[in-house]
Structure 1
Amino acid sequence: MATRQNLYFIMIASWAFAGLACKPPGAKALFNGEKLLQKGNAEAAIIEFEKAVQILPEEWRAWNYLGLARHRADDLNGASEAFQKSVKIAGERGNSPDHPSFVLYFNQGRLNLDRGRLADAQRQLHTFASQKQTFKSLFWLAEAFRQNGDMLQAQKTYRLALDENNSSPVVHNRHGLVQLKLKNYSGAITSFRQALELQPEFNHAQLNLALTYHLHVPADYPNRETLAFEAFKTYIKNNPEPAVGVQKMMDALEVKLDPTAASSASLENTNNELVEVSTNQFAAVSPDAVGLDSDVGLPLTNRFSALPTTENNAVTTVTEESSAVKIDRPSLLEEREDLPSSAELIPPVAVSETGGGQATSSSLPEQSMPIVVPEISGVARYKYIKPQRPKPVAVENPKRLDSMFNQAFHLYQIKEFDKAITGYRGLLEINPAHQQAHVNIAITMQVKGDVKASLSAYEKALAINPFSQPAREGFASALNQSGFFIDAAVEFHKLLKVHRDNVPAHLGLGVLYAQHLNQPDKAEYYYRRVLELNPQHSEAANIRRWLYNKSQ
Structure 2
Amino acid sequence: MATRQNLYFIVIASWVFAGLGCKPPGAKALFNGEKLLQKGNAKAAIIEFEKAVQILPEEWRAWNYLGLARHRADDLNGASEAFQKSVKIAGERRNSPDDPSFVLYFNQGRLNLDRGRLADAQRQLHTFASQKPTFKSLFWLAEAFRQNGDMLQAQKTYQLALNENNSSPVVHNRHGLVQLKLKNYSGAITSFREALELQPEFNHAQLNLALTYHLHVPPDYPNRETLAFEAFKTYVKNNPEPAVGVQKMMDALQVKLNPTVASSASLENTNNELVEVSTNQFAAVSPDAVGLNSDVGLPLTNRFSALPTTENNATAAVTEESSAVEIDRSSLLEEKEGLSSSAELIPPAAVPETRDGQTTSSSLPEQSMPIVVPEISGVARYKYINPQRPKPVAVENPDRLDSMFNQAFHLYQIKEFDKAITGYRSLLEINPAHQQAHVNIAITMQVMGDVKASLSAYEKALAINPFSQPAREGFASALNQSGFFIDAAVEFHKLLKVHRDNVPAHLGLGVLYAQHLNRPDKAEYYYRRVLELNPQHSEAANIRRWLYNKSQ
Question: Which bin holds the TM-score, normalised by the shorter protein?
Answer: 0.5 to 0.7
Change (3 A) 1:487 1:307: same
Change (3 A) 1:153 1:310: farther
Alpha-carbon contact 1:6-1:303 (below 8 Å) kept: yes
The residue aligned with 2:402 is: 402
Alpha-carbon contact 1:93-1:394 (below 8 Å) kept: no
Change (3 A) 1:86 1:6: same
Which stretch of the first structure deviates more once superposed, 416-425 or 383-392? 416-425
Change (3 A) 1:111 1:265: same
The residue aligned with 1:277 is: 277
Alpha-carbon contact 1:80-1:356 (below 8 Å) kept: no
Alpha-carbon contact 1:84-1:356 (below 8 Å) kept: no
Alpha-carbon contact 2:3-2:321 (below 8 Å) kept: no
Which stretch of the first structure deviates more once superposed, 435-444 or 473-482? 473-482
Which stretch of the first structure deviates more once superposed, 228-237 or 477-486? 477-486
Which stretch of the first structure deviates more once superposed, 420-429 or 130-139? 420-429
Alpha-carbon distance in structure 2 between the residues aligned to 1:353 and 1:543: 14
Alpha-carbon distance in structure 2 between the residues aligned to 1:482 and 1:331: 46
SS of 2:284's partner is coil
Alpha-carbon distance in structure 1 between the residues aligned to 2:388 and 2:95: 16
The CA deviation at 1:509 is: 37
Alpha-carbon contact 2:50-2:66 (below 8 Å) kept: yes
The CA deviation at 1:92 is: 1.0
Q: Deviations over 1:205-249 (max 9, x none)?
A: 000000000000111111111110110001000000000000111
Change (3 A) 1:412 1:279: closer
Q: Deviations over 1:494-521 (max 9, x none)?
A: 9999999999999999999999999999
Alpha-carbon distance in structure 2 between the residues aligned to 1:514 and 1:253: 55
Change (3 A) 1:83 1:308: closer
The residue aligned with 2:238 is: 238
Which stretch of the first structure deviates more once superposed, 476-485 or 518-527? 518-527
Alpha-carbon contact 1:173-1:195 (below 8 Å) kept: yes
Q: Deviations over 1:291-321 (max 9, x none)?
A: 9999999999972699999999999999999
Change (3 A) 1:257 1:277: same
SS of 2:342's partner is coil
Alpha-carbon contact 2:103-2:307 (below 8 Å) kept: no
Alpha-carbon contact 1:342-1:446 (below 8 Å) kept: no
The CA deviation at 1:255 is: 1.4
Alpha-carbon distance in structure 1 between the residues aligned to 2:354 and 2:77: 17
**TM-score, reference length from structure 1:** 0.54
The CA deviation at 1:57 is: 0.5
Structure 1: 5+ residue stretches without partners: none
Alpha-carbon distance in structure 1 between the residues aligned to 2:45 and 2:356: 23
Alpha-carbon distance in structure 1 between the residues aligned to 2:439 and 2:329: 38
Which stretch of the first structure deviates more once superposed, 53-62 or 331-340? 331-340
Q: Deviations over 1:305-358 (max 9, x none)?
A: 999999999999999999999999999999999999999999999999999999
Alpha-carbon distance in structure 2 between the residues aligned to 1:114 and 1:427: 30
Change (3 A) 1:21 1:247: same
Alpha-carbon distance in structure 2 between the residues aligned to 1:377 and 1:339: 46
Alpha-carbon contact 1:451-1:482 (below 8 Å) kept: yes
Which stretch of the first structure deviates more once superposed, 357-366 or 476-485? 357-366
Q: Deviations over 1:383-428 (max 9, x none)?
A: 9999673799999999999999999999999999999999999999
Change (3 A) 1:101 1:467: same
Alpha-carbon contact 2:5-2:301 (below 8 Å) kept: no
The CA deviation at 1:263 is: 3.3
Q: Deviations over 1:421-442 (max 9, x none)?
A: 9999999999999999999999
Alpha-carbon contact 2:226-2:257 (below 8 Å) kept: yes
Which stretch of the first structure deviates more once superposed, 371-380 or 302-311? 371-380
Alpha-carbon distance in structure 2 between the residues aligned to 1:473 and 1:535: 21
The residue aligned with 1:223 is: 223
Q: Deviations over 1:447-503 (max 9, x none)?
A: 999999999999958954899999999999999999999999999999999999999
Alpha-carbon contact 1:438-1:460 (below 8 Å) kept: yes
Change (3 A) 1:26 1:549: farther
Alpha-carbon contact 1:34-1:45 (below 8 Å) kept: yes
SS of 1:351's partner is coil
Higher relative contact order (CA 8 A, sep 6+): 1
Which stretch of the first structure deviates more once superposed, 203-212 or 316-325? 316-325
Alpha-carbon contact 2:345-2:436 (below 8 Å) kept: no
Alpha-carbon contact 2:380-2:483 (below 8 Å) kept: yes
Change (3 A) 1:207 1:41: same
Alpha-carbon distance in structure 2 between the residues aligned to 1:424 and 1:345: 12
SS of 1:509's partner is helix
The CA deviation at 1:12 is: 2.9
SS of 1:98's partner is coil
Alpha-carbon distance in structure 2 between the residues aligned to 1:122 and 1:339: 16
Alpha-carbon distance in structure 2 between the residues aligned to 1:327 and 1:526: 41
Alpha-carbon contact 1:93-1:393 (below 8 Å) kept: no
Which stretch of the first structure deviates more once superposed, 452-461 or 519-528? 519-528
Alpha-carbon contact 1:443-1:474 (below 8 Å) kept: yes
Alpha-carbon distance in structure 2 between the residues aligned to 1:164 and 1:497: 12
Alpha-carbon contact 2:475-2:491 (below 8 Å) kept: yes
Change (3 A) 1:348 1:503: closer
Change (3 A) 1:286 1:63: farther
Alpha-carbon contact 2:292-2:319 (below 8 Å) kept: no
Which stretch of the first structure deviates more once superposed, 298-307 or 495-504? 495-504
Change (3 A) 1:414 1:121: same
Alpha-carbon contact 2:68-2:305 (below 8 Å) kept: no
Alpha-carbon contact 2:207-2:235 (below 8 Å) kept: yes
Alpha-carbon contact 1:348-1:405 (below 8 Å) kept: no
The CA deviation at 1:251 is: 1.2
Change (3 A) 1:197 1:509: closer
The CA deviation at 1:261 is: 2.2
Which stretch of the first structure deviates more once superposed, 440-449 or 140-149? 440-449
SS of 2:7's partner is coil
Alpha-carbon distance in structure 1 between the residues aligned to 2:228 and 2:541: 57
Alpha-carbon distance in structure 1 between the residues aligned to 2:476 and 2:485: 9
Matching of residues 52-67 of structure 1 within 5 Å: 52-67=52-67
Change (3 A) 1:291 1:393: farther
RMSD of aligned Cα (Å):
16.4
Q: Deviations over 1:129-186 (max 9, x none)?
A: 1111111111111111111111111111111111111110000000000110011111
Which stretch of the first structure deviates more once superposed, 255-264 or 53-62? 255-264
Structure 2: 5+ residue stretches without partners: none
Alpha-carbon distance in structure 2 between the residues aligned to 1:334 and 1:30: 42
Alpha-carbon contact 1:428-1:437 (below 8 Å) kept: yes
The residue aligned with 2:253 is: 253
Alpha-carbon contact 1:9-1:299 (below 8 Å) kept: no
Counterpart check, 1:417 vs 2:420? no
The CA deviation at 1:256 is: 1.1
Alpha-carbon distance in structure 2 between the residues aligned to 1:75 and 1:374: 56
